[in-house]
Amino acid sequence: HLKPDPDVDPPLPGGPGIADADIMIYVTMVDTPVCMANITLAYALACNRDQIDRPTFGHINFCPRKITPETAAQERQHDLSTAIHEVFHIIGFSQQSFALFRDSAGNPRTARCPDAPNCQSSDPDGYPPALSDGRLFTDPNTVVEEGDPVVLRLVTPEVLRVAREHFDCDTLGGVPLENEGGDGTAMSHWEKRAVLNEFMVGQLSTTWDPVRSALS
């Protein structure tokens, strides 16, 4: 801890932190209400970001009742992919992080308040304006939202390059994001019907090994 934590009883003293570390991730294994409510194996979030929006602290919680004690190689591979999957949520693969992406020159891809259009008094400076559902607005140069029912596609330059090469389609207009599954799944994973068992889909199939690809 860099600062004393007043929310812990007795309070934890401040400390020097961790030298030469870019990010610190707290890992817990607790059956929380999120674990009990659905089939979630684990979940994660970024807790703090630096001055250019890179996460510096994150938290992963594994749901102990959903982790099987199997030792088969395929089960171990799925558990490993789950852990890597959650780390990716912390470092940027989530609908809240998409709004904070920056271009190759380090400039925000989405305009920030107070100068961005549609900012409200409740929107903090340095962040994009919030939408009515609580999400941060994300510029269409990063996420395109269209159609009925709504389909969201990630369209950053590197995602387009990798996807067009993989699918051999020079006009591919982005990779769709999951639009179902609730707050913990929708818009924070690839659409499974498009990439099957790529490890950043919302629910991996146990029939095939997860694939860690250049897409993510």
Active-site choice (75, 86, 158, 178): 86
Cβ atoms 173, 161 nearer than 8 A:
no
86 among known catalytic residues: yes
- Could you give the strand order of the β-sheet that contains 151-154, starting from the edge strand earlier in sequence? 143-146, 151-154, 175-176
Query: Given CA atoms 48, 59, 138, 34 in this order, what sign does their dihedral have?
Result: negative
d(CA 97, CA 54): 9
Q: What would the two tokens of residue 192 be? A: 């499974």
Tell me, what DSSP letter sits at residue 133?
T
Region class of 182: left (phi > 0), else alpha (psi between -120 and 50), else beta = left
Cβ atoms 1, 13 nearer than 8 A:
yes
DSSP state letters, 36-71: HHS--SEEEEEEEE-TTS-EEEEEEEE-GGG-----
The residues assigned a catalytic role are: 86
